[in-house]
Amino acid sequence: MSFATRLWAGYAVLYIAVLYAPVLFLILFAFNDSTAIAFPLSGFTTGWFSTMANSPGLVDALLNSLKVSSSVAVISTALGTMAAKAISRVVLPGRPALLGILTLPLLVPGIVMGIALLIVIGAIGMELSLTTIAIAHIVYCTPFAVLIMLPRFEGFDRNLEDASRDLGEGLFFTFLRVVLPLAAPGIVSSLLLTFTVSLDEFVLTFFLAGNDTTLPLYIWSQLRFPNKLPGVLALSTCILAFSFLLVNLAEWARRRGTPTKASIGMAS
């Protein structure tokens, strides 16, 4: 192994350690038998998870987050699918600019977007609620859906649509019976990923929540009390595990049905 290879390998290990060490410490202290976040550890316990489950307000916050995230996942995936289908099908002179505009919410800082949406919602007279949280999350999550669905549609064989149209099917049933089944892995991936992003989003939720509490806001409120910190760590560990599972399922769904080099070579 050359010196350059060892250097890059060492850099990769250091990068991963710096990136994931805080997360590992979070999980470690969630099982620590003490309210003090310090070494050495006092002992091993799972009691903080029971304390977390019995915390007042947790169930309501969790239900609110599930309501918002589920609706956001469905709506943003539907909007992203239609936008990706239109961009991949129609040849536009300003296509790169249009794609940049659609993905712009990913580049705007969350605090800037939160203030902007708060001003707009206040100007139209809407009260802050779960609905305003969902609107903000849809604006933020739709670009994720577009970026997931666009490669799926760009790799789609247009001859299948043409064959369906030649056999007498209209646009709607062609999309329903031909396009949708082929795009299903991307749709599932988009649903899972946008659900995860919405579930974990804090900044936009903080600006647009009003009197409603979601899971990130509940965690934020509990951080004011040092004796509740281990319960927060336990809850964060559960959210981390759930998010990790959803993201991996989304990646598996995204890769499912994607042609590999071997299959392309066999087909050719």
Cα dihedral 198/202/207/213 (nearest 10) = 80
56-257 to CATH, choices 3.40.50.1110, 1.10.3720.10, 1.10.10.10, 3.90.960.10 = 1.10.3720.10
pTM tops 0.85, yes or no: no
Of the candidates 86, 199, 179, the one whose C-alpha atom is nearest the C-alpha of residue 134 is 199
pLDDT mean by block of 10 residues, the chain; 268 residues? 79 83 81 76 80 78 90 94 80 71 83 91 89 93 90 71 65 68 81 88 89 86 78 81 79 62 41
Could you give the CA distance from residue 13 to residue 92 in angstroms, rounded to a whole number? Answer: 44
The three-state secondary structure class of 32 is strand
Range 204-243 burial, b when 16+ CB lie within 10 A, else e: bbbbbbeebbbbbbbbeebeeeeebbbbbbbbbbebeeee
Q: What are the distances in angstroms from CA 210 to CA 126, 131, 153?
A: 11, 10, 39
Q: What does the domain layout of the chain look like in residue ranges?
A: 56-257
Q: What is the pLDDT of residue 87?
A: 81
